[in-house]
Structure 1
Amino acid sequence: MSATQSVADSVLGLTQSELFLLRQQQQILAQRSHQGGMPDRGRGTSRQSQPSSRAVSAASSQSVPGRIMLDPHSLQTLYAHLENVMRSIQRRIAELEDATAQSVRNSSSRAGNTVQNADNEIARMRRIITEIDNLEQQFEQLGRVRDKIKAIRNNVDELSERLDRSRPSGHSAGGARPRR
């Protein structure tokens, strides 16, 4: 193939990174064609598809670095290759988007469960604090009642001792009650 059937890749209006990517894909395509690994383009394995593969192989072996071959078979093969690469990238993006969405759903679910558990524990703590407050009030009330009972008992004991002392000594109904 002559150099007139190719064009410098630098005249394509691509950026340096796009040119690098184009050259890289051309190399991958050339390696595959030399190894017989050309992708099936839906033409089957008939003899008609073989000349195309041979033409691509010959074109890639004769290609000048930094140039794009202008023959229809080379351009079609490069186009098909780039379409396949783009489909693979799109599939991978879709897979990663699905994985990201699943991760977000899982994290959201865990966060929701964590929030629900925290709300449940806060409610439980409030019930416990309310119960403690009620028990402390009952404790204070019982303490006041106990103190009153003790005071009353002390009064009863004192009255009982006075009565015992005011009676003649032989008439006591029982022994003196011990003070508590």
Structure 2
Amino acid sequence: MPSTEANTVEDTQLGLTDEEINLLRYHQAQAGSSSSRAASRASSQGRLLLDAPSLAALSRHLDRLMHQIQQRIEYLSEQSAVVTMQQYDHAGNLVDNADAEIARFQGIMAQIDELELDFDRIAHIRDIVRDYRQRVEELERELESSSSSRRDHHHHHSHRHSHSHRHESGSSSRRHRH
């Protein structure tokens, strides 16, 4: 059985800021609690588990989180509009407690700014996780094709090379067509 070290990467090597690393550690533990103890254990050691199911679970968790943040931003935006209207009476004069309403409005705007920052950080983490997940899945596919070609051919190394090369050129031409 391969050691955990072999299919993990230090989360400090992912090109994330300190805040993003802290967010990743926190949310990986959250996602890991429902998927695998190994992912939680790796997270507590400051590592990211690189197997496909763990990365998929983390991706789904981050997608859900971004959706929740978006909903919260929309809700706060609606609230800020309500508060703006409450600063004035029907005649368009500032109401007596306008200062309190303005302070509330500023508080809401500060929350929105903070949420948008979190959203951007999580989007960045999610993109990096997605990138690793694609690489892991490609590697797994290559390993599968090489192990099946090993059964068919003695020269599996050259076969695997030409196969992966053909696969890459095929996928890149598909990408250009889109």
Superposition TM-score tier, normalisation by shorter sequence: 0.3 to 0.5
Q: Tell me which structure has the larger Cα radius of gyration.
A: 1
TM-score normalised by L of structure 2: 0.46
Structure 1 length-normalised TM:
0.45
